[in-house]
């Protein structure tokens, strides 16, 4: 019944109301840390080298320091995606992309929230002309990255937070994670891939239910639906994600990039076009050092693949 559905959705409606009103310990009163001079006049690399990130924590992880861990760091705002955070995130991804030692990237938030979506107080001031002129929201670096990106999602991944996770190549989740596209409750629609990537991940019927109601799904439901690859206890999520990132980073960067390109490009093609594209990428791999080394190592029963 309508009454039971409203009762079921009450906690989520309170969450959205709190985010919008600032009741969550200063969600709105905490301004997005934004040094406009740094963002507009400094190269992205300067953020990493000088430690000037204000909305992120960025560090190298793994035994070989070949994994970049990017943590969204607006705890009072539950990692709401303000303009400055998005700009810094693009810069951090660009830095990881150009770092020759880095083979994989992990993006995470806090145990309470991966990201609750856009910064409502900030977005409420935008007009149609502003969002069109600035291509808001802009996650350009995700589309350009040739290195695998893994999302480690604890807590809420809602709206833009869910979309951010779906921009990654793999999603791992903590047992208490929740995913959803609640934009309809705020009088708008998903604007960063929520209607499209989610439909491709979990199917039309389920995504219609989510975007038309603002309902959420649990980590376990998300895993069954195919949105999430694996679910871990919250306190083990980061370590397990880093382990997987290290495994990928230890493989050939050239072949890893080929695999990623093949899956992503083929996803938007017909099956005939995609298998043809795959064949061409496969054939191209025969021109690389990696295929010779990999097959020779296998034949010689060498325990280690040498990525020369």
Q: Where in the chain is CATH 1.10.12? A: 253-299
Give me the pLDDT at residue 257, please: 94
How far, in Å, CA of 176 to CA of 180, rounded? 13
Q: What is the pLDDT of residue 41?
A: 35
- What CA–CA distance (Å, rounded) separates 18 from 28? 9
Per-residue pLDDT of the chain (308 residues; tens, 9 = 90+): 545 544 555 545 455 445 444 433 333 334 555 444 334 334 454 454 445 788 999 999 999 999 999 999 999 899 988 888 988 999 999 999 999 999 999 999 999 999 997 777 677 677 777 776 666 667 778 888 999 999 999 999 999 999 999 999 999 999 999 999 999 888 888 888 889 999 999 999 999 999 999 999 999 999 999 999 999 999 999 999 999 999 999 999 999 999 999 999 998 899 999 999 999 999 999 898 888 888 888 898 886 665 55
> CA 147 to CA 257: how far, in whole Å?
6
Which numeric CATH code is attached to 2-249? 3.90.226.10
CATH number, span 253-299: 1.10.12
Quick one: pLDDT at residue 166? 95
The answer to whether the CB of 99 falls within 8 A of the CB of 45 is: no
Which pTM value belongs to this model? 0.81
Listed in order, the ranges of the chain carrying CATH 3.90.226.10 are: 2-249
Tokens of 22: 């600032």
Show which residues are catalytic. Answer: 118, 160, 163, 183
Closest CA to 307 of 284, 286, 295, 290: 290
297: its two tokens: 């190592």
Cβ atoms of 66 and 250 closer than 8 Å: yes
**How far apart are alpha carbons 278 and 62 in whole angstroms?**
31
């Amino acid at each position: 019944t309508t009454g039971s559905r409203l009762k079921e959705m009450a906690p989520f409606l309170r969450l959205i109301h709190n985010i919008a009103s600032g009741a969550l310990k200063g969600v709105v009163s905490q301004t997005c840390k934004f040094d406009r001079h740094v963002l507009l006049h400094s190269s992205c690399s300067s953020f990493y080298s000088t430690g000037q990130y204000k909305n992120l924590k960025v560090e190298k992880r793994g035994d070989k320091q070949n994994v970049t861990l990017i943590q969204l760091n607006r705890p009072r705002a539950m990692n709401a995606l303000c303009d400055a955070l998005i700009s810094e995130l693009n810069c951090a991804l660009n830095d990881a992309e150009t770092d020759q030692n880095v083979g994989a990237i992990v993006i995470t938030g806090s145990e309470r929230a991966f990201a609750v979506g856009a910064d409502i107080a900030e977005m409420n001031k935008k007009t149609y002309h502003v969002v069109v002129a600035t291509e808001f929201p802009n996650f350009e670096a995700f589309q350009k990255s040739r290195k695998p990106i893994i999302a480690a999602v604890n807590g809420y991944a809602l709206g833009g937070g869910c979309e951010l996770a779906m921009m990654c190549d793999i999603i791992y989740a903590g047992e208490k994670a929740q995913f959803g596209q609640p934009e309809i409750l705020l009088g708008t629609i998903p604007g960063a891939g929520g209607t499209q990537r989610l439909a491709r991940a979990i199917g039309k019927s389920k995504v219609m239910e989510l975007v038309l109601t603002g309902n959420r799904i649990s980590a376990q439901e998300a895993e069954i639906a195919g949105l999430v690859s694996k679910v871990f206890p919250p306190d083990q999520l980061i370590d397990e994600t880093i382990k997987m990132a290290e495994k990928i980073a230890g493989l050939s960067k050239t072949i890893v990039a080929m695999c990623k390109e093949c899956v992503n490009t083929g996803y938007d093609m017909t099956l005939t076009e995609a298998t043809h594209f795959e064949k061409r990428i496969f054939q191209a791999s025969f021109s690389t050092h990696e295929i010779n080394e990999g097959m020779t190592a296998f034949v010689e029963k060498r325990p280690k693949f040498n990525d020369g």
